[in-house]
Amino acid sequence: MRTKAAVPISFTPLTRRGRWPYHATVPEYRPGPVATDATVVEIDGRVALFIPATQELAFLNTTASDVLRLCDSHRTLDDIVSRIASDSGIPPKAVSDSVTQAIESFVAKSLFGIHP
């Protein structure tokens, strides 16, 4: 029996209002890189950020940190899902929602520019 593994993301799920970054849900979307004015501190595999656009401090768990690191504007959403799935040993379908949600959050918080 296959159970859906939880991949915790520290961002609060966002509501769909305003200008929602639908790009993040397109498999060919290549997210990243992190905005150059963001301050990124990485400690023992986890990432903390200060995002000037939203004046927010964000503390990512290990999985979200891994996702962020893979967002280099070259990898597609599918590439990132595949990589996270392979590194964690969890089927891609089980991690897809969490990875997408993390990337949507990054975009919504203006951490990336929008590159269709």
Partner 1 sequence: VIPAPAPRTVSVTALGGGVEVEVEDSRLREVVTELWRDLRHSETSPEPAVGHRARVDGTGPWLLTTDYSMATEPANGSPPLAKPDEPRADATTFAEAISLVCSAINVPLATRGPYLVAHAAVVARAGTTLAIPGASGAGKTTLTVALLQHGWRYVSDEALAVDWNTGVLHSYPRPLGVSDWSAAMLDVVGGVRGDREWFLRPAELGAEVADGATGITHIVIVDRDRSAPTLQPAHRMDALEILLRRSFNYYRDPARALQTFGGVVRRASVQRLCYGDPQLAASLLTDTFG
Residues in contact with partner 1 by CB under 8 A are 39, 41, 43-44, 46, 48-50, 52, 55, 57, 59
User: Structure tokens of 30?
Assistant: 């290549």
Least distance (Å) between residue 45 CB and partner 1 = 9
Q: What's the min distance (Å) between Cβ of 95 and partner 1?
A: 21
Nearer to partner 1, 22 or 59 (CB): 59
Beta-carbon-side half-sphere exposure of residue 6 (alpha carbons within 13 Å): 4
Q: How far is the CB of 103 from partner 1 (least distance, A)?
A: 20
Residue 64: CB partners within 8 Å, gap ≥ 6?
9, 10, 11, 47, 102
Shortest Cβ distance from residue 1 to partner 1 (Å)?
A: 32
DSSP-derived 3-state class of residue 116: coil
CB closer to partner 1 out of 41 and 114: 41
Based on CB atoms, which residue is closest to partner 1, 51 or 77? Answer: 51
Nearer to partner 1, 48 or 90 (CB): 48
